[in-house]
A and B are shown apart, each in its own frame.
Chain A
Amino acid sequence: QSLLTQPPSVSGPPGQRITISCSGSVSNIGNNYVYWYQQLPGMAPKVLIYRNYERPSGVPDRFSGSKSGTSASLAISGVQSEDEADYHCASWDDRLSGPVFGGGTKLTVL
């Protein structure tokens, strides 16, 4: 059972705005940064969003992150077929003294 809760799957047609939620607690999201990772099929994850809403260079600006209290969200404005992937949220957990991941969300572009 993951300490961070994500929906198992989301879907939508090309061009739609998609959001993926990540719910945690005070010991993780509430007191620490949130990171989002994109994992394309058969590939290693790569960082998509860091420190709640920052985008590494090369990540399209249709990806955005936000955080409020003990929850965070990843939004994709104008989803594209190449965005089909698994998305994982992560945060440091002060109680466990280690990072924790959400269970991952599979995005299907219809």
Chain B
Amino acid sequence: QLVASGGGVVHPGKSLRLSCAASESTFQSYPMHWVRQAPGKGLEWLALISSDGAQRSFADSVKGRLTISRDNSNNTLFLQLDGLTVEDTAIYYCARGSVIRKRFTAWFDPWGQGTLVTVSS
């Protein structure tokens, strides 16, 4: 089970930091993703981090603004997004990923319940 937290109302230009706590010790064995969904829109993948934290990949839309990290000793995933704009208003989901034959995939399971971030002045 994944539980995301840290959402709320944030002013434009500020930063947000989200956490995703995993209840299983297997957390450290899997890559993890952040995905967001703007109101009434589809899913947008943001970033992934490998199981050991050595590899990271980012969507072009947030590259340079987003930091993804993990603490395997505490089974927790983090996201920091800087320079927020109203276009960053969305539900942010964390999700566990997978690797097949040393390649990342588009498997996301399970998903956290999501945490709503509203960027507004």
Contact = CB atoms under 8 A, between A and B. Distances in A.
B58 A101 contact: no
Interface residues of A, number: 25
Nearest to B45: A99
Which of B93, B104, B108, B110 neighbours the largest number of chain A CB atoms within 10 Å of its CB? B108
Given A88-B43, A96-B60, A44 B113 contact: yes
A30 interface: no
A96 B58 CA distance: 9
A44 B48 contact: no
Contacts of A56: 109
A2 B108 contact: no
A109 interface: no
A98 B58 CA distance: 7
Interface string B20-34: 000000000000010
| Secondary structure type dominating chain A contacts | strand
Interface size, B (range): 20 to 34
Contacts of B110: 46
Contacts, number: 67
Interface string A68-110: 0000000000000000000010111000111111111000000
B109 A47 contact: yes
Contact of B107 (A2, A35, A101, A104): A35
B45 A44 contact: no
A50 B42 CA distance: 19
Contacts of B42: 2, 88, 101-104
A44 B110 CA distance: 9
Interface of A: 2, 32-35, 37, 44-47, 50, 56, 88, 90-92, 96-104
Interface of B: 33, 41-45, 48, 57-60, 93, 100, 103-114
Q: Which 9 A-B pairs have the closest CB atoms?
A: A99-B106, A104-B42, A44-B111, A90-B106, A101-B43, A103-B42, A47-B109, A35-B106, A99-B45
